[in-house]
Amino acid sequence: MLKGLIIAIDGPAGSGKSTSAKLLAQKLGYLYIDTGAMYRAVTYLAIENNALGNDEQIVELARVCDLEMNYKNTKLSVKLNGKDVSSRIRETDVNEQVSDVSKIGALRKLLVEKQRSIAEKSSGVVMEGRDITTVVFPNADVKIFLTANLNERANRRTKEYVEHGSMASVNQIKNNLATRDKIDSSRDDSPLTKANDAIVIDTTSITIEDQVSLILNKAKSAAREKGIELKVY
């Protein structure tokens, strides 16, 4: 039984979901779940096993794989069948394929079940992705939708590539993001969309500290309403 809040954060790639969710989870001592990393890991598996385009094989690879995610000291580590793929799943080929893999209905159903199972065993969770407020946890205590303009998101993603030792032009990344936006928001199964009661935060021109502070204030209000003790570290 979950004793803390469920904080759900959605938004397009590069809107600041991962950074704000990590920092918020750290401040609250909550479990952090990056659902996008789960889909990236499966995409990497599909690439390695030449399974792209074979939906049934991809779902089976996801079903039997050993996927571990651990967030510690501001770093998310992702292990797949015992191998650290934290950096590999952020590379260009994965970025270019992840939206197509993510729209596989049976895969989404499988991973949503895993996401709910992980969260329900925690004492409070910050989960981010593209369908958390609408599908995974439509009754979340705090529902946030982050957005930012395409140029800013492309600049952020370029910086991430450099930090991971990968190279890609801003224009290439911008085109990739625009394509992902279109696929993610138009897919039939669990499209990226804002929940009616989600709070929209445009992160284009605000600092990450201000971004986290805005979400934290919403969490404090939700905790007071539900009589949940919220400790901030």
For residue range 141-195, list pLDDT tens digits in order: 999 999 999 999 999 999 888 887 777 889 999 999 999 999 999 999 999 999 9
Cα→Cα distances 118→2, 59, 210, Å: 11, 19, 29
Tell me the C-alpha distance between 88 and 42, whole Å.
12
pLDDT at position 168: 81
Tell me the C-alpha distance between 213 and 1, whole Å.
27
pLDDT at position 70: 86
Q: What is the pLDDT of residues 194-223, one digit of tens each?
A: 999 999 999 999 999 999 999 999 999 999
Number of other residues whose CB lies within 10 A of the CB of residue 189: 14
What average pLDDT does range 43-59 have in this prediction?
Answer: 98
Tell me the C-alpha distance between 140 and 151, whole Å.
30
User: 170-186 vs 150-163: helix axis angle to the nearest 10?
Assistant: 120
φ/ψ (deg, to 5) at 230: -115, 115
Closest by alpha carbon to 157, among 10, 8, 18, 21?
18
What average pLDDT does range 66-93 have in this prediction?
Answer: 90
**What is the residue extent of each domain of the chain?**
6-225
pLDDT at position 162: 84
Q: What is the 8-class DSSP label of residue 117?
A: H
Q: According to DSSP H, which parts of the chain are helical?
A: 17-28, 35-48, 55-64, 92-102, 105-120, 150-163, 170-186, 208-226
pLDDT at position 71: 79
CATH H-level, domain 6-225: superfamily:
P-loop containing nucleotide triphosphate hydrolases (3.40.50.300)
Q: What is the pLDDT of residues 95-132, one digit of tens each?
A: 999 999 999 999 999 999 999 998 888 899 999 999 99
Instruction: Write out the DSSP string of 33-88.
Output: EEHHHHHHHHHHHHHHTT-TT-HHHHHHHHHH--EEEEEETTEEEEEETTEE-TTG
pTM of the model: 0.87
pLDDT at position 2: 57
pLDDT bracket for residue 72 (50, 70, 90): confident
pLDDT at position 1: 47
Tell me the C-alpha distance between 81 and 184, whole Å.
27
